[in-house]
Amino acid sequence: MTRGGAAARVCGSCVRCPPGRRATIGHMATTWEYSTIPLLIHNTKAVLDQWGSDGWELVQVVPGPDGTGLVAYLKRPTGEQ
């Protein structure tokens, strides 16, 4: 969908909006930045606590590419809309 030549943004990051709701002024979808970090088994809580105190939210933990370690995927709002 377009409006005024620009693509319409759809909310989807908010629990109060129905699926497909178009974003309006004052209510835009959140934009995120992402990071991946290796997790050391003996220090996992401290690492995640530090990233959490910096505003990062844990999304998922998966096995690392070598199959032995773990990789954490994190996100946080960019503050932009």
18 token code pair = 């129905």
pTM for the model stands at: 0.63
- Lowest mean pLDDT of 5-9, 16-20, 53-57, name the range: 5-9
Tell me the C-alpha distance between 75 and 81, whole Å.
15
pLDDT (0 to 100) of residue 76: 96
- Domains of the chain with bracketed CATH: 1-29 (no CATH), 31-81 (3.30.70.2000)
pLDDT tens digits, one per residue of 11-46: 555 656 666 666 565 666 889 999 999 998 899 999
Mean pLDDT of 51-80: 93
CA end-to-end span of the chain = 18
